[in-house]
Amino acid sequence: MPSIRPAEFRHAMQSLPSGVAIVTTGTAAGRRGLTVSSVTSIGMEPPCLVVGINARSEAHDDILANGSFGVSVLRSDQEDLALRFGGEEGAKGVHRFDTAPWDQGALDVPLLPNAFCALECVLYDHKVLGTHTVFIGRIIATRQSDGSPLINFRGALRTFD
């Protein structure tokens, strides 16, 4: 059975509102991160989430090597970080972390201290699907703050405000 064209797929997925998050891994000069809008919970026992990451991403191989990652769900006032970690400013590697304070969580992964929600995950499993890898993380810690989330909808970053 043939697949739909990439443009059709992109248009359909842009109609699905999703939270915007930064997925991170590593320490010190080895920190890596990227903006994603494909984080989904999959189970309560054990508590797990799934995130899809392009195999060409700087963070991809580091997540595999480190065996852990953080997910910082962005607040509505953190659009600049979403763009920076999405590659809009040209910053790469550890330099993406320069414009905001970061904590190292219990798993020693970078987390935004003022994220809408932050989750720390041990890599539970992964599966390569074409250009991306689906990472399944077992959640070992969470924290939340006030505010409202940043949303990706119809190809633009939006808020509930």
Position 68 scores a pLDDT of 98
Position 14 scores a pLDDT of 83
Position 33 scores a pLDDT of 98
Candidate CATH numbers 2.60.120.10, 2.40.30.170, 2.30.110.10, 3.30.70.20; the one for domain 20-159? 2.30.110.10
Mean pLDDT of 124-132: 96
Alpha-carbon distances of 124 from 69, 117, 160, rounded to whole Å: 11, 21, 33
Give the model's confidence band at 89: pLDDT under 50 very low, under 70 low, under 90 confident, else very high.
Answer: confident
Position 161 scores a pLDDT of 67
Percent of the chain with pLDDT over 70: 99
With tokens 């309560």, the residue in question is 44
pTM: 0.94
Considering the chain, what is the average pLDDT of its residues? 94
Q: Which segment of 5-9, 82-86, 146-150 scores lowest on mean pLDDT?
A: 5-9
Position 155 scores a pLDDT of 86
Residue-wise pLDDT tens digits, 18-37: 999 999 999 999 999 999 99
Please say if the pLDDT value at position 15 is more than 90. no
